[in-house]
Amino acid sequence: MNLKFGTSGLRGLSVDLEGPAAAIYATAFAGTLIASSQAKPGDTVLIGRDFRQSSPQISAICIGALLRAGLKVLDCGTVPTPALALYGLQKHAAALMITGSHIPADRNGIKFYLPDGEIAKEDELAIGAAAAELMASGTPIDATPATAPDHERDVRMLFVARNTAILATGALTGLKIGVYQHSTVARDLFVDVLRHFGADVVPLGRSETFIPVDTEAVSPETIDLLKGWAVEHSLDAIVSADGDGDRPLVSDETGEPLRGDFLGLIAAQFTGAAVAVTPITSNSGIERCDDFTVLRTRVGSPFVIAGMMQALSDGQTGVLGFEANGGVLTATDFSINGTLISSLPTRDSFLPVLAALAKVAQHGQPLSVISASYSLPVALSDRLENFPTETSTALMAYLRGDDANLEAFLSDVGTIAGVSDIDGLRVALIDGRIIHFRPSGNAPEMRCYVEAETESQAKALLEKGLNLLRAWADSCGA
């Protein structure tokens, strides 16, 4: 059993989680809630899930474990993670979301929420330690599945009410928007919300088989689909999300996906944020916008949340966070369209989607024109899948071990001007380009991020970076 906490939640193979492991971690979570006085026996815990084949079984096992731990459970069904989190905040209830987000279908995971929001890294350590203690005790763990009362309709209604208050009535009238439905739990809610604002909505690509869509590294096959649909239906944009609906995917009128950090930038401007907290992997040009103060963190929503909480403790107001994958988090309430939208300090795909589409409607310009007007550096990223964790660990140790090692590794790429070690290694080259190597926190993958002045330069740099990673893996026999 190889389960671990990554950038957002516990992840591992579905076959592991469909057994005692799910019961162990649910029991450990219940124990840490009670031990920390964040819940008491009889309190309510929520549980939701995505559309993966393994998710219903894992959910049922967790329900059984939580009930045996003395808690009351409400089954919130197949809903977006931000919808489950919002419902938890309203009820002041802890929650579990069964999802592997964007990773392949043979893997799954659990995201944990406290009554006041997403868990922090220290909470992950506590849950992990409690799980390890349960496994070490030798006491058999009961993994008998169970059921709980269905609250899916209430969760959906609350989330729709929140999102239909963000724009004015009819704000998207005249826009023709595609919704790439695939297997995201956000698929029907996107259709409902966009139609509420007057958009002509075209549902596309619905699948009953789980499709892993990574909004931070959109596959060429997905881009081909988006481009084909954009032309076929004469669309102004296509919107979608990852499996659990917390990361947005937005393509312009040509079907070209927009960067998630650009969507975060749009959302920050849309809300009038004073502070934006974002990971080191987000576009370096964001600081040039001068609309808000930018604070940089490591990759992962717990780090962004910690950054937002620090900003609040420093007396800042109007605090928002976003990740390079486009998920937007709000640490404070915002007045939008004359309505107070309550804080939701977990990744949300709906706010950035609505902010981007509102900009199209307000300015009467295509998304491609709006995007180009920001003159951000061209930023690209990709990943090598099935890149063993031990191989990426060895690479990062080698590159960090000696400046000469990093210089030699990048000798065919360019001359180093500076290095950031916040998360992975982000290298600024003397000609202004940026290349960044970072092991994934969720899967055996190695990611490469690049920035350059032109798309051709960025593509060339990305290919060089990926080739360097492939060569390293080959030398290690991976």
Please identify which residue in the block is written with the tokens 């695939």: 182
Torsion 449-222-323-443 (CA) sign:
negative
Q: Which of 101, 284, 381, 392 is catalytic?
A: 101
Instruction: Name the packing angle between helices 20-35 and 121-137 (round to 10°).
Output: 120
Residues in the chain: 478
Instruction: Say if CB 50 and CB 213 are below 8 A apart.
Output: no
Residue for token pair 């312009």 = 252
Q: 432: left (phi > 0), else alpha (psi -120 to 50), else beta?
A: left
Sheet with 200-206: list strands edge to edge.
Answer: 200-206, 176-182, 237-241, 248-251
Using alpha carbons only, give the angle 400, 403, 406 rounded to the nearest 5 degrees: 70
Is there a catalytic annotation at residue 101? yes
Tell me the catalytic residues.
Answer: 101
